Chain A
Amino acid sequence: MSPYEAVIGLEIHAELKTRSKMFCACDASFGGEPNSRTCPVCLGLPGVLPVLNRRAVELATRLALALHCEIAPYSIFHRKNYFYPDMPKNFQISQYDLPLGVGGYLDLELDGEGFRVGITRVHLEEDTGKTVHVSESGRIHASEYSLEDFNRAGVPLLEIVTEPDIRTPGQARAFMQELKSIMEHLEVSDCRMEEGSLRCDANVSLRPVGSTQLGVKTEVKNMNSFRALQRALAYEIERQEGVLESGGEVSQETRHWDADANVTTPLRSKEYAYDYRYFPEPDLVPLELDRAFVASVEAALPELPAQRRRRLRELYGLPAHDAVVLTSSKAMGDFYEAAVAAGADPKAVSNWMMGELSAYLNARGVEIGEVPVSPSQLAGMIRLVERGTISGKIAKSVFEEMLRSGRDAEDIVAERGLTQISDEGELEAMVEKVVEENPAVVEDFRKGKEKAVSFLVGQVMRKSGGRANPQVVNELLMRRLRGED
């Protein structure tokens, strides 16, 4: 076992799901022709002034409350000054020493063990634009010129900073997954890591197990998925351990996760050693949130993943693990509940979603929203199994076809003649044939080898192309073999 313990804190940025940008009326949604979603304000033209988006404040408050933060009755915005061409004003409006929410926490569970991660702060800031370096190689130093797209400039961002309470890469991943699910349930962010609407940096340090002092930390950036987060942290912990074990010292620096090479590499110090010269933004008035506002946001908070897990377990008797997977995103939970509402057995829906559906999502790397099968279609398929119209085995191939084509189970079953055969007359003929073809096995059974019957059932199933109702076949065989006819 390692003599070191990792101490990890996360800094998360999430784009808020507002219709307009943080300080102007421009469309805040993702996409659009470059610079088509801009105006004098978000382009930082001379003379413009920011006007705070009320909705952004409401959404930030919603998340801060869900993370058990204290909502500051008085908070202000600062200017964070640094030159970068994707920032039109060459300063970013951000909250600084008086953030909107402070002192929260999130309770989590990993492998049956509970842990709590403190939330230092939740604050509002604006996003920057996007720089594209144009060159053969795509590298900044070799680029001939750069292009700026300011469509994202001024989109409201939430920054969430945790206490250094996380100890393992797995915990970090569990935290991010839960946070994402919470933000989805609250409808505050789309949380698309690949589009950059959810980003995460980590501070990592090691210390001897049992020590309470903090070691020198590095900041790891550019982790664009949960998998990247977990792997980057694992790498960084191992790297620091190697440095310490060999008697070296970890140097405080920012490191970049390279997902292709599976390593973190240090950024040149010049690239991040800014003096941001924070000072209060004189163009905005202080943000004062009265109790009534906070109370109204709190009262309107929707069900959160933890509450949903508890409800699903109590209502449908789901195992803890199932409840976690089914609430890992809001869409997952919504899919589940919609399928149950459409009349399917709750446990069967869970089994299908945990099994075939999850396998499909993982294999394709897609979100549940992109699956061509609707919850009611899944429910329809499950009902066919329940009614005995198709066997469980057939159901799997039917579901595969549904995932391919998006068609209803009933249509597929009808078209391909997959209906289960329960008609005794039809099955008796097959049973008779199997008995005749397998005299030795029949003999075994008669000598008391009860298990022999399952082989015979299998033979009948095979003859029927999997469509025979195995229970009926079993009964017919027993009757036939015991000579009851």
Chain B
Amino acid sequence: MMTEVHSAGQSQPAALGVGSHYVRRAGDEPAMQEAPLRARHRLGYGQILALIAALVAFGIFVRSQAGNPNMDWNVTGEYLFHPLILNGVAVTIQLAVLAMLISIVLAFGVAVAIQSTNKVASALGRAYVWFFRGVPMLVQVLLWYNLAVLFPTILGRDTNTLISGFTAGLFALSLAESGYMAEIIRGGILSVPAGQTDAGVSLGLTRGQALRRIVLPQSIRVIIPPTGNQFIGMLKATSLVSVIGGSDLLTRAQLIYGQNFKILPLLVVAVLWYLVLVTIASIGQYFLEKRFNNSQPGSRQARKGAGTPGTTTTAIRSMTGGALWKRQRR
């Protein structure tokens, strides 16, 4: 019975006429594909023209500016690895990473509050997002730095010594970012089908437990890629703390050109470093996205390397330090 199968599709002989009826017999093999198709891309005239135009424009710009006395490349080279600048780069990285971590923790709380059945918590969560996402980051930085006007002392200590440019910047960036992150996390929560909550609750979890233990772990897949984007944004946003002397990269560059008046060369130093940081972050983002997009729920795509079909869960588990080893051992 299994040797004769009605076949509809590729294994049918091409010359099957209308009304005929094909039945596959044992040993009746469909033709193998001999070689994959290889078609060449034609280089269009449009692309060639665009390339020439871009090269010419770039050449003109370089020729006109290379000799510009205000654009002193030696100074740029001299300060690129200056200890003060390197220290500023370190501060910028610290600021971005810490602010991002704090904002994610806050945002989880806010997102859960908004989604909860507790109406007061939900309203407070929405108000939080409304405020911290609504007020420009730069204004928030200034607000935190000038907190001393409202509260001259905190716990008996002078506010201005307690809150340095760095801490004020860190608070401001964390809180402003947490408004955005809360919405991203909420989107992640909403992306998990309601049936998951139903199943958890029917098993005997409370709604809150189902949210935390069943829904949140599955929302990570949706949350990770935009979080990468936010981090890249955050790397750049750290430059805002230069207005309050946050000792970050841009603050240091400004400090130096304030003394030697080599404004543009030092700004170029800053530009180069920001580009380096963002490029590194983008590469990380690329791999994260690839990993998480490859593993949509329900997809059975094989993951490279591992012998088992890849799933969202493997990615999530490795992210959350879960029991990935258990599967790879097999």
Q: Do A and B make up one complex? A: no
Q: Point out residues on A near B: beta carbons under 8 Å.
A: none
